[in-house]
Amino acid sequence: MRSFDLVVIGAGPGGYVAAIRGAQKGLRTAVVEARDVGGTCLNRGCIPTKSMVHSAGLYRQALEGGIFGLTSRELGVDFDAVNSRKTEVVERLRTGTERLLQSHKVEIVRGRAVIKTPNIIAVNEEEIEANYIIVATGSEPALLPGGMMDHENVFTTDEALSRDAKLYKRILISGGGVIGCEFANIYNDLGCEVTIVGSRENLLRRLDSEISRNLMSIFKKRGISIITPAKIQDIQEVDNKLSVRINHKDNIREAACDGVLVCIGRRPVTGGLFLDGVHVEMEWGYIKTNKHMQTSIPNIYAIGDCTAGSAQLAHAASAQGLNAVSHMVSEAPAADLDAIPGCVYTNPEIGHVGMTELQAKERGVEVKCGKYLMSGNGKSIVTNEDRGFVKLVFDAKTDVLLGAHLMCARATDIISEMACAIANQLTAEQLARVVRPHPTYVEGISEAAEDFAGMAIHMAPRRKL
């Protein structure tokens, strides 16, 4: 029986980061992976999606090039080339990740792991002993019930991001969360007729309400049909097309399309992981952990999408993996898990971190906001960005930043500055004192902070979004 100090089950962004950190701390480490190194994020999620976002966005920009004085006689989409580029990016990063693991002397064990005892893992026909175990098995797409997934052109993001993915003339997206909105943006940019069926009144319901309303307005302006609150009741094939029956506010309506993309959430991959006798406390299939990422069995840790209360973000899983290893080696946490930013790669991009106004009020915290409409931002005007804004939420008593909600170009990059500000409890005055370069999108941060202090100089008159 081979023996390791640490065995990580799952080589996604949480698992491989934890494995490398374990090796760096002197632990003899192995990582077990049943599929491809890199997990969902690299192979069936973040990376291939953003490759498609980039390709689709370039096509949309090219179509709108006339405003910048750019013209073209021939312009089209080669979807096979889009898929090839996506696959090339994924394979390049996967190879790099495998080499990184090898360079740190982390052993990669191929196969499906089963935890037989708190210290014994079975992989294929082999048993492996471990002092510590980190479960990083991730999640998989949730499916529509009642046989609706049995149709050829009803599919999940796994198929939408595969090598042989199709481009549909008319596509219906089931789900109004982050994944559904990103794919709606992609297909719309590529010229598809897009319909979103969301179960709640607003898209992106967990985000700031102004972001939700603004995105829905932009989507409708671009021709995306939004049906909310609604639920798909049935899918039938009619003349090689799909007929979808939708319960919309207690009324049944039908929509015709060529394909249905199912983005109704994700479920943890934990089934069959623990054999009888290994009793880890769980909730609806998710593994419960403490602040150190320990399960109810102290030497077994869990991180990422398979944990209860997971943010289902790659960078959150990585941070949790670092903290789990820190706890094993009796060190202080390596990452601050109280300020985890989230990103939505629509156009405009969305970045958010910390509390919304509503969340603060629910916790009994009195807040005030500073806001800046990016329609007055020089860089946004130069690049012809759609309407967006920067909204900062401050504690009304201390002026400390509690939340930041950005909807603008490069929001997914700018939000890191806001996460740093929240982690370090910066005030509005401290944010306003920073000299940010001009012309840039990040100037919106200065304007929003100054708006809170009543000292804005370039602030355009307030308009409702």
Residue 257 · residue 171 · CB < 8 Å: yes
- Per-residue model confidence (pLDDT) at position 454: 76
What value does the mean pLDDT take over residues 443-452?
94
Q: How many residues does the chain have?
A: 465
CA dihedral 344, 347, 352, 356 (to 10 degrees): -110
Residue 464 binned pLDDT confidence (cut-offs 50, 70, 90): very low
Can you list the alpha helix ranges (DSSP code H) found in 275-410? 314-328, 357-362, 378-382
Residues 53-70, mean pLDDT to the nearest whole number: 95
Q: DSSP labels for 214-269?
A: HHHHHHHHTT-EEE-SEEEEEEEEETTEEEEEEEETTEEEEEEESEEEE-S-EEE-
Q: What is the pLDDT of residues 221-272, one digit of tens each?
A: 999 999 999 999 999 999 889 999 999 999 999 999 999 999 999 999 999 9
Confidence label for 73 from pLDDT (cuts 50, 70 and 90)? confident
Angle between helices 314-328 and 15-24 (to 10 degrees): 30
Please give the structure tokens belonging to residue 215: 């995105």
Dump pLDDT digits (tens) for 190-204: 999 999 999 999 999
Domains in the chain, ordered, with CATH? 2-141+267-328 (3.50.50.60), 148-264 (3.50.50.60), 342-453 (3.30.390.30)
Residue with tokens 């002397």: 105
The per-residue pLDDT for 140 is 97
- Cα(157)–Cα(165) distance, integer angstroms: 10
Question: What does the pLDDT read at residue 456?
Answer: 56
Q: Contact at 8 Å (CB) between 235 and 243?
A: yes
As beta bridge partners, residue 287 has: 282, 307
Quick check: pTM over 0.75?
yes
Alpha-carbon gap, residue 412 to 414, rounded angstroms: 6
pLDDT tens figures, 326-372? 999 999 999 999 999 999 999 999 999 999 999 999 999 999 999 99
Catalytic positions are: 438
Mean pLDDT confidence for 286-311: 97
Query: Region 92-120: what's the mean pLDDT?
Result: 97
